[in-house]
Amino acid sequence: MMASGMNNYAGASMNEYAGMHGASIRAGPSRSTTRFSGAVRNPEHADLWDQISDEHRSEINDCFHLFDMNKDDQLDFSEFRYALQALGFSNLSRPDLITAFKSAAQPKPDWKPLPFIPGQPQPSTTPTVVDLRLSREGFQSIAAKYIAQRDPREELLKTFVLFDKGTKGMITVDDLRTVVKELNEDVPENEIHSMIEQFDIDGKGGVSREEFVGIFLDR
């Protein structure tokens, strides 16, 4: 079951388990399911929205709807920032976020410059960040770009840590048995052993970090 196992069962079930713990193995090339369809290799020559996986597109749309607080089918800058954080991009700097937001956002339909008040600074004649709104399509484009640029190995290594109980540097039969139990999966004991044995190349009793990454990514 592990190339069909840790790549099919592990594909769906390990991703589910990772999600329970705030991690993900979504990004990166896949050997099987659309859940793991690959990051774009040449983003400048591709429509990123079409290149990311169905699951990623669904997650992007879900985040847009969740953070579109007033349900006007637009995001202001704060909503945009929190939506990207929910997708796992919490390490982006504010200047980078502002640049990305401004690249696709449009002024509010009713925007107009503030009137000049004598003795006060001249008001801006162009919309500022607070005057801009991002459409669903704009958010899709930005989020797809960030997902396509994400290093799938980092996501896989975060997930590996969740499975490696006790930080042994490998995923053992006991680890996998624990995960199966926590997911309430009905996986026969012989298949749990088979998952480990199939990819335990050196016969050390577990799947190493390198082997785990290799299960999901074409190296």
pLDDT in tens, 47-62: 888 888 888 999 999 9
Q: Which CATH number fits domain 43-149: 1.10.10.1590, 1.10.238.10, 3.30.1600.10, 3.30.505.10?
A: 1.10.238.10
Residue owning tokens 């680890």? 175
Helix (H) / strand (E) containing 132:
strand 132-135
CATH number belonging to domain 9-39+152-216: 1.10.238.10
Residue owning tokens 């309430």? 184
pTM to 2 decimals? 0.59
Ranges for all domains in the chain classified under CATH 1.10.238.10:
9-39+152-216, 43-149
Long-range interactions of 62-66: CB distance < 8 A, separation 24+: 63/87, 63/143, 64/136, 64/139, 64/140
Contact 143, 52 (CB under 8 A): no
Tell me the mean pLDDT in the region 124-139: 93
pLDDT in tens, 9-49: 444 445 555 544 444 433 333 333 333 333 334 444 348 88
